[in-house]
Copies of this chain bind each other. A is one copy, B any other.
Amino acid sequence: MKEAVIVGGSGYVGGELLRLLLRHPEIRVVQVTSDSQAGRPVGRSHPNLRRATDLTFVPLAERRPADLTFFATPHGESMGLVPPVLDAGGIAIDLSADFRLKDPSLYPTYYGRAHPRPDLLREAVYGLPELHREALRSARLIAVPGCIATASTLALAPVVRAGLSADRPVVIDAKSGSSASGRDAGPAGAHAERSNVMRAYAPTGHRHTAEIEQETGATVALSCHSVEPVRGVLATCHVSTSAPVPIRDLWRIYRSAYASEPFVRVVHENDGLYREPEPRLLTGTNYCDVGFASDDHLPRVVALGAIDNLVKGAAGNAVQSVNARCGWPETTALDALGLHPL
């Protein structure tokens, strides 16, 4: 049994971590920090956890060492908090962007500041078990991907790796739900302003561009949209190919890429209501459903990736990475089935 601390536990990602870890047979959460909520029961911030735990938030200053320290903090905060954890022999799992990019020069561009510890960028393992399973087994520092990056990378990687992509940027049009903006979404996140939107909140310039390019090797033109639901990300990846791609080739490519993955399902059906990956089916689960289409009109493949942004796009992916790290079955505490209808 390993002891875990969640730093920055009052937000949505922190809440999901707690939900998953409270049912994890090998992990015991011993502390959840939040300066703003210190002293209050965690169930006040996470009312779904009422009666499931007696934990109360503690101030960050009272944090104790643990086997596993999860950081569900805003970007920029874990940069300083992670090093002492590693120095003390702990394992750090960072759900912010602070250790995701290998190239330090990208931090000023995308996050507005130089990175203080390029050495740790080199050491950090990008927490996507489908791509970095081996490295995760001995990682001290796990950098859990962003939600749009996760859906995009898992959808796109097989196509790029198969050499299908022509020498042109891949256009990724991402749609995400409101919980992706976090608990403090401000005026733009008020229900009366955020409901029913199809909002191009980042038609260019989204930070996850760098992650996707790093992990897939493709050049990426990413545009991000907010749509209605509370949870979910759908990444629609438009890949120009040098020649038309038969659909059976896509089947083969995706099946071979993900045949043994516990959380990636290849979805491409000929009929029914759910022929393509659909995020709402994945709510609360750690699945990433990937799918594809081949265009008759132009040499083009459309690759689709769907996830729950708070689970496979954050907390669940973190738990899966820790499971890989600690030698437990990757599905431990992650075997929930989706809900339908929802």
Closest Cβ of chain B to A13, distance in Å, is 11
A173 / chain B contacts, CB cutoff of 8 Å:
171, 173, 223, 236, 238
Q: Which of A19-54 contact B (CB under 8 A)?
A: 19, 22-23, 44, 46-52
A211 / chain B contacts, CB cutoff of 8 Å:
none
Q: Is the CB of A204 within 8 A of B300?
A: yes
A325 at the interface (CB under 8 A from B): no
A231 at the interface (CB under 8 A from B): yes
A49 / chain B contacts, CB cutoff of 8 Å:
337, 340
Closest Cβ of chain B to A56, distance in Å, is 14
Closest Cβ of chain B to A212, distance in Å, is 12
The segment out of A58-66, A87-95, A273-281 that lies at the interface is A273-281
- A214-227: CB near B (< 8 Å → 1, else 0) gives 00000101010101
Copies of this chain in its oligomeric complex: 4
A199 / chain B contacts, CB cutoff of 8 Å:
276, 278
Give which listed residue, B50, B195, B197, B221, contacts A178 with CB less than 8 A: B195
From known contacts A229-B228, A281-B47, infer whether A200 and B296 are also in contact, taking CB-CB under 8 Å. Answer: no
Give which listed residue, B179, B298, B337, contacts A52 with CB less than 8 A: B337
Q: Is the CB of A236 within 8 A of B223?
A: yes
A335 / chain B contacts, CB cutoff of 8 Å:
23
Give which listed residue, B51, B232, B300, contacts A196 with CB less than 8 A: B232
Q: Which of A173-214 contact B (CB under 8 A)?
A: 173, 175, 178-179, 181, 183, 185, 187-201, 203-205, 209
Give which listed residue, B188, B221, B284, contacts A238 with CB less than 8 A: B221
Interface residues on A, range: 35 or more
Closest Cβ of chain B to A338, distance in Å, is 4
Closest Cβ of chain B to A118, distance in Å, is 22
23 contacts between A and B (CB under 8 A): A15-B340, A19-B337, A47-B273, A48-B281, A49-B340, A168-B240, A175-B227, A178-B195, A183-B187, A185-B190, A187-B273, A191-B230, A198-B232, A198-B279, A198-B280, A200-B277, A203-B236, A204-B293, A205-B293, A221-B238, A221-B297, A227-B228, A284-B339
Interface residues, chain A, CB within 8 Å of chain B? Answer: 12, 15, 19, 22-23, 44, 46-52, 168-169, 171, 173, 175, 178-179, 181, 183, 185, 187-201, 203-205, 209, 219, 221, 223, 225, 227-232, 234, 236, 238, 240, 265, 267, 272-274, 276-281, 283-284, 291, 293-298, 300, 302, 304, 306, 335-342
